[in-house]
Amino acid sequence: MINKYVVKLICRILIFISCVFIYVFIPEIMTLIFTGKLYGKLMYLYIIWAIFMTGMILQLVPKRQKSLTMGCLKHHKLLYEPSDQPYTEEEKIEFVKQSNKGALTVLISWLTLTTVIGILYFSGIIYKDILLLISLFFYVCDLICVVIWCPFQYFMMKNKCCVNCRIFNWGYAMVFTPLIFIPSFFSWSLVIMSLIIVVKWEITWKKSPELFWHRTNSSLQCRNCKDKICKIKHPYFKDPLMYERCHISKSNKQ
């Protein structure tokens, strides 16, 4: 799985670079994309739109997929695997409380950044094409967070790994927030679909937090992990003993 995500990251970097090339050498295309026209060279950016949309739709499919980590699929009850690990109701409540606290911190931080971007746009300091490039840059950063290093994980969420991330499916919504200021099919269709993903995710979290916790969902436990996307970005554990137990269990299984 890690190899697939590295390839995805490289592809996203190439998409970003190609759009920077278009911005520098064929700037009129960046303007046309928000007018609703679809012809000629503009088709390339709509192919990118299709890639975005396909990626989001796949997250809504309740099926174990080889191209997606359990991190973005764990909200599907069909993929839930109950764990036999003992826990108390107080521990579950504390997990929900801490997860919500971290998620709220991320939300406030991202809304603040989005507000700054909006102010720059409406002040005429940046334009529509720059908003698109910002979104594409966030698109690259999204997988950097998964593959290499994630500031949200280490400074706000404190989750063990991406598979256990409380806000994993917020990714597309965070990527496309700069486009919310541009009224067009290209921009708002992406924003709306990303928000649908977040709403479904949050409703499931509210109703069934056990799907998101490794103590109650065995598919999120290291010894049962099939994704292995933590080979570059190692798991983060606040409790060193938990890290030791995790690797002992993995070693025993091997």
- Say if residues 29 and 182 touch (Cβ distance below 8 Å): no
Round to whole Å and give the CA distance between 177 and 49: 15
Confidence (pLDDT) at 37: 59
Confidence (pLDDT) at 240: 41
Exposed, middle or buried: residue 216 (CB in 10 Å: 0-12, 13-18, 19+)? buried
Contacts of 183-191 spanning 24+ positions with Cβ under 8 A: 184/33, 184/34, 184/35, 184/36, 185/36, 186/33, 186/34, 186/36, 186/45, 186/46, 186/49, 187/34, 189/49, 189/53, 190/49, 190/52, 190/53, 190/56
Spans of the chain, pLDDT less than 50: 239-254
Contacts of 196 (CB under 8 A, 6+ apart): 60
Confidence (pLDDT) at 100: 97
- Collapsed DSSP state (helix, strand, coil) of residue 233: coil
Round to whole Å and give the CA distance between 244 and 249: 9
Confidence (pLDDT) at 40: 58
Calculate ∠ Cα 60-237-95, nearest 5°.
Answer: 60
Residue 171: its H or E element = helix 171-176
Q: How many CB atoms lie within 10 A of CB 168?
A: 23
Amino acid (1-letter code) at residue 249: S
Round to whole Å and give the CA distance between 84 and 126: 54
